Structure 1
């Protein structure tokens, strides 16, 4: 039985402004408050704020008074075989009630099993049993949190040898059955498609784009696999690649202007450098025209 939110096949109008935002890092707390950069919103990882107090909450409280806020979960393990962690869900609910962010998102992945938490976002087998489990977990989480969750498409490096759905079909089914929205990570699309020999724009066109309510952009690292083929790693540690910018512009032709996060978690540059990337995204948003 699906939750009442399952009737929301497409999300309501996005509440984040259709502008570029930045991931909020502790290294930039003071700079943000002193310089008030011209960005559309900030996003934080939920698990960094699942405590009652401390300096992170002090600064987030000040900054969330000035900017719209998106909260991004990385530890709910929506795709895991084990039941969702009830304590984690309740702490998440407390955090969301405290800040009332415009958006909350999680990953289509798993990161825990049998009481062991693995600090990674691991791929799913796209079969009927996994679909039923993910939808049940989404129903439970949306019921507890009393809000729609945006589900992020993954970056993957390996795949299971058998599946009932391709990834875009699987995501379509989850959104249709659970009423969740879609966080479209354009970098993840590019990384996964290059790694698996697929066409990124064809993957984009197979997604339920009407359900997109936020976009992520990030940088990747490049290596070679054991056959000497390109292997891209979603490391959030470099400027956005030109191929990802080009794919993003194609996405905007299909979705129209959409809140867009510049992600940078490693090799963190000065705030001013990230603001420059946000301005590039704002320029794309300003020029976006939906194809008829």
Structure 2
């Protein structure tokens, strides 16, 4: 999860106007004849700052819907920005779930249900395979403000939002994911919704469990400074906080999977367990913890 700067190397309105005039593409003249509605839809999307609970669907014919989805799959020169968005984000932290790389694009408003936004650049964010695993739910009316977060618009994604939660500490602990926001925080329901419908389905907890196994076997494999045993519990906390800061700077996200794991390692009970295991009598530096 991460807040992204909105791309500035293209203009959605100019692009769709140019595409509507292109007599060489299959959507001509249908897109031309529906251009006013499509442009209005783009404008309304931006006017609500990408809030998925307020974005209005644009009624277009099934034929035009199919053609626009086809343009996404095989973009013409008028909408070449689609491939550039994908390429520019390929090796970055996934802004939707926090995994270590992207490789594809996610339609924030799913193109199946909102085909008008199939080629709308502000609806296309770099993503990993989580775009195939997330649900198509956008909101949960039972909880005020519960909705999918938008990497191009929701500034809250720049903040630390998630932590791992470890239970039954040992070789194979139980791993959960939870929000760090207070229950009264105005974005708490949105973060919980995004966590449930995207992050938990992405395999983040399973990845963290695997990294824990590496740490238990040889701590320095996961956190290099743990090749040496910390002298004090406070020193261990400082080490973990510094490691998390380095990870955040390296990935450009406070909610990468590794950052989420390190936040979980900083929980008091986990620090207690780690320090006791690291400093157990007779344990060699960088040796197994159990």
Question: Which structure dedicates a bigger proportion of its chain to strand?
Answer: 1
TM-score, structure 1 normalization: 0.28
**More helix as a share of residues:** 2
Higher normalized contact order (CA 8 Å, seq sep 6+, divided by chain length): 1
TM-score by length of 2: 0.28
